[in-house]
Amino acid sequence: MRTTAKKEDDDANKPPIAQDVCVRIVETDDDIECVSWLRATSFHAYPEERKFAGKIHQLMIAEEESKSLKALRLDRRLRSEDPISSSPRDGDTVTLMASCHADSIPDIDEKLCYLESQDGSKMAVLGSLDIHAARALPGEVLIGSSDNAAYLANVCTASAARRRGVATALLSRAREIAQKWNVDALFVHTMAVNEIAIEFYTKNGFVIDKEETSNQAHYRGRCLDGIEGRGRTVLLRDATLPPS
């Protein structure tokens, strides 16, 4: 699964975002559209010379992501269950988003903004992640050594809000959910070359649990920057999670 922390060094000197940051479950159509666009632009970035074609691709990706999130919401509503119950089914997923008043982030992408239903104030989506209750994640070869685990995935932060505490707030809420689920372990996958993401997780109590070799990545066709096997994966485990 995907995790990103690109181009954060430029934002290292920005102050933390105001205390009005809220982390909650993605629920409304506006939530879904904003989160879908955030993921499309975070995980599918394009250079300036390919900006036009890239934008078309990002719109297509966002549409597919929106369909997936709406399907998850429908499944949850049909089951009429609390998504953070103490006994989730294998494969249950909760999607979180972090938001704040848009005027706190003046350079935020307008496609990440929505109007609050209660008072009509303009809000901005700053980040998002999924937390899955699962023995293993589909498409990932590295599996944590726990039959009662949760995995983080699709972790991303808006470029205008990076290095300002958004990912930490999302991680804190995800940990609360993992504890309510009574899981034995919390894992996250990232690419071995994503040093910023690995640094973030290790600073927040994660340790490397397993690493894919270059040969394994090569045989799976994980090519990065034209180099076979460079796209290998690392699995990290939350060492701060108390025993269930």
Distance, CA of 77 to CA of 80 (rounded, Å): 5
Could you tell me which residues come within 8 angstroms of residue 162 by beta carbon, excluding any fewer than 6 positions away?
A: 5, 7, 8, 11
Mean pLDDT, rounded, of the chain:
88
pLDDT above 80 (res 6)? no
* 189 touches 156 (CB < 8 A): no
Average pLDDT of the segment spanning 213-230: 66
Please indicate whether residue 30 or residue 7 has the higher confidence score (pLDDT).
30
Residue 7: is its pLDDT beyond 50? no
Q: How confident is the model at residue 221 (pLDDT cuts 50, 70, 90)?
A: low
Question: Does this model's pTM top 0.85?
Answer: yes
Identify which of 93-102, 133-142, 219-228 has the greatest average pLDDT. 93-102
**pLDDT beyond 90 at 15:** no
Residue 113: its pLDDT value, please? Answer: 96
